[in-house]
Each structure stands twice: as structure tokens, then as C-alpha cells.
Structure 1
Amino acid sequence: MGGESRFEIHQNAYMKLVLHALKHRTSAVNAVVIGRSAGGGAAVEIVESVPLFHSQIGLLPPLEIALIMIEEYYAEKGLSIVGYYHANERYDDFDLATVAKNIGDHITRYFPQAALLLLDNRKLDSLSKEKARSPVMQLYTKDASSSWKLAGSEGSNPLVLKEPTANILLLDYISSGKWKDIVDFDDHLNDVSKDWLNPELFK
């Protein structure tokens, strides 16, 4: 692959990922991020996210059903799955899980620039202590040998927030318990009346 892509994530897509993990603090959770290539492929814009599972996240049949439904819905809007998000079960676990790498591998077959986003609870904890303007996530991309590696170097972060105030708003939502309202694909499969698109979440 060529030079490292820059990923810009929109506020609502970003907050939905973090709130999903907070709703299921004792479980691993995952999601896909939706977007498009920009800037001649040198940048990827993440405009939306879809929380997937909080139980048995490695099971293939429900994952395949979810990915098909998500792809079909967003294709009509000119968008596609551009990456995968994972939050580990243990709060102090900062390693990229094998299941995350495997699902990421699957997504790169369709979108070679795909990113893996891993929630970093250390950064989440520091949100209230400082005016953090960077995402509370680690970004992994595939290197020339097709291995997942932590992206960016000292002083540079190829994952940026589109809106600089996203973390301030996120803190407000955390303190108000907004995470209780989030619906993931697991919830939808258990009760189809629950909308995995979360259309009312930030209204």
C-alpha cells in the first residue's frame, strides 16, 4: 500500500462508538464505520457508525447478516463500510484482539484502506482532566506486509475529529447517561422494533 491515509471522523459517528462501549462496560463490543474516500484516496471520511454486537461478537452468521444489511442501506447513499471498531472486554486491555484483526481483514477485501479503531480507556479517562482534541481511540492500518500496525508516529495522528468540540459534547452525553439509549445490531436481532440506525439518539 502507498502512503498512510488520513482518517477524519464526524462527531456523531465518533460519539456513538464510545457510548456503545460505555453501555456494555463488562463486554467486548464492536461496530463498523461508514464513509468514503476523499482527496484522491489519501484521506477517508468517516461520516457514520453502526454499533454491532455486545455478546459473542466473533460469531460469523449474525455478523454476515449485519454487514449485508448495512452495505445495502448505505450503498444507496453513496457510502460504504470503511473500517471496524472494537472495544476490549477488560478495561486495562489495550491490545488488538484476534477477532478484531480477522474482521478487519474481511473488510479490507472490499476497502483496502480500511482502518481498525480500538477504544483506549486511558484516553477516555483523561477526557475530563484536559481539553483533549484527539479521539479516544488507537488507529490501526495495514502495512506493506498486510499486518495490522498502530498508525501515526510521534507527534502525528492520522485519525482526527472533524469537529474540534466533539470530546466536550461527548463528556456531556456521558454525564447525562446518553449511552443508555444506544441500540446495536444485537438489540435489533432480539427485538426488530429497535432501530440499529439510532435515528433519535442525538435529537
Structure 2
Amino acid sequence: MGELIYEIRQNAYLKLILHALKHKASAVNGVLVGRFDANKGVVEISDAVPLFHLSIGLLPALEIALMQIEEHYASQGLSLVGYFHANERSDDYDLGIVAKNIGDHLCRYFPQAGILLLDNRKLEALPKVKDRSHVMQLYSRDGSKWKVEESGQLVIKEPSANVMLLDYVSTQKWEDIVDFDDHLDDISKDWLNSELFK
């Protein structure tokens, strides 16, 4: 499985980073939606759905969210292809038990599922540094364990994504992101973030 490429679309990339920036003092998580092109060996990540910032390990809320997400995206021929996670503490760079458990759950249905762990150091440095590298680490499942993949296996589909990200950081666009926790508090809030980039 080491030769798989995970290709993330710009909007998915921006959504998961904005989610982490909005809740800097909390752990956040979400799922990655897309499809697998077996001929090319590419997991195409076309969207990211921010899930939680309050109770990331709460199973009933997670199950409800996953059912709604799967139902919505199935009509577009898309399914859950991975998970993203940002740790609460800025000095915590480990893939924790909650992230591994949710990743394991997704792998039962999609064996090529990956986990993107956001790098809090790079997130904090975003406003100050004009770095073009992505701010996350890719993990894939190797047998029963999660292992760090080479940085070249995670590709941002649109090269301008980091330029857009810096623009969104400077305008505090993260204030507009809605996650499933926000939706559960107020069902009028759109967990799909349909208007975020319009």
C-alpha cells in the first residue's frame, strides 16, 4: 500500500485547516470524502467534512454524522476515504487513540483510508511564514498499525492552495466554517459549508 498517492482538492484542504484554526484550543476532527482510482493507485479526496471540536470521541454523535455524510455523498458517487485530526496541544504531534480508532473503523469499509494529522507548529506559523508545503502528515494502515507516509504521497491537486490559504488566514475566513458540533447546536447551520468559498 506504500505506493498509493493521496490527492487532495483545494477546497477539502482549505476546509480542514480552517476548521483547526477556528478551534485552536481544542482537538478537532473530520472525515475525507472522495473515491479510489485503482488503475492509477490514487485516493482522490474531493471534500472534507468538519465533524467535532467539543466531543471528538463521542460515538453516538459520530455515528449520526457518518450516516448523514455517507447518505449525502453517495448520490455523487463519493464515499468516506479518510479522516483528519488536529490535536489539542500545540506540542502534541502523535496520532492518538481516538484518531486511530476512527481510522480503523473507516478501514473496515475502505481499506485504503488515510489519516491526515495536522501539524500544530505549521498551523501556528501560517500567518508569519510563506511556506508552500502542506501542514499535515499522512498516515496509512500497514497491517494493524498506522504508519507515517512519505511527504510525496500526499499531493495537493491545485498548486495555488497554499496561496489561497494564506489569503484566508489573513482575512480570518475560519470564522465562517461550520462543523457538526455547530450544526447540532443550531440545525440551521450548514455542516456541508456550501457557501464557504462563494
Name the TM-score class by shorter chain: over 0.9
- TM-score relative to the length of structure 1: 0.93
Compute the displacement of 1:157 (Å).
1.8
Match of 1:135 in 2: 134
Q: Percent identity?
A: 65
Q: Secondary structure at the match of 2:174?
A: helix
Paired residue secondary structure (2:39): helix
Q: Please give the secondary structure, in 2, of the residue aligned with 1:52.
A: strand
Q: Structure 1 CA distance, aligned partners of 2:129 and 2:179?
A: 30
| 1:10-21 → structure 2 map (5 Å cutoff) | 10-21=9-20
Cα deviation, residue 146, structure 1: 2.0
In structure 2, distance between residues paired with 1:39 and 1:20: 30
- Residues 99-154 of structure 1: CA deviation (Å, up to 9, x unaligned): 0000000000000000000001233345443441x3210000011x32000011xx
CA distance in 2, matches of 1:130, 1:202: 22
Count of equivalent residues: 197
Query: Match for residue 161 of structure 1?
Result: 156
Unpaired runs of 5+ residues, structure 1, are none
Indicate if the aligned counterparts of 2:87 and 2:120 stay in contact, CA closer than 8 A: no
State the match for 1:23 in structure 2.
Answer: 22
1:1-203 correspondence to structure 2 within 5 Å: 2-40=1-39, 42-127=41-126, 128-132=128-132, 134-143=133-142, 145-152=143-150, 156-203=151-198
Contact 2:30–2:83, Cα closer than 8 Å, also in 1:
yes
Secondary structure of 2:55's partner?
A: coil
Deviation at 1:5, TM superposition (A): 1.1
Deviations along 1:20-50, one digit per CA (max 9) or x if unpaired, are: 0111110000000000012526111100010
TM normalised by structure 2 equals 0.95
Matched letter for residue 40 of structure 1: N
Look up the equivalent residue of 1:129 and give its one-letter code. V
Task: Tell me the distance in 2 between the aligned counterparts of 1:186 and 1:131.
Answer: 31
What do residues 68-123 of structure 1 show as CA deviations (whole Å, max 9, x unaligned)?
A: 00000000000000000000000111100100000000000000000000001233
Structure 2 distance, partners of 1:92, 1:34, is 28
**One-letter amino acid of the structure 2 residue matched with residue 161 of structure 1:** I
Separation in structure 2 between the aligned mates of residue 32 and residue 19 of structure 1, nearest angstrom: 14
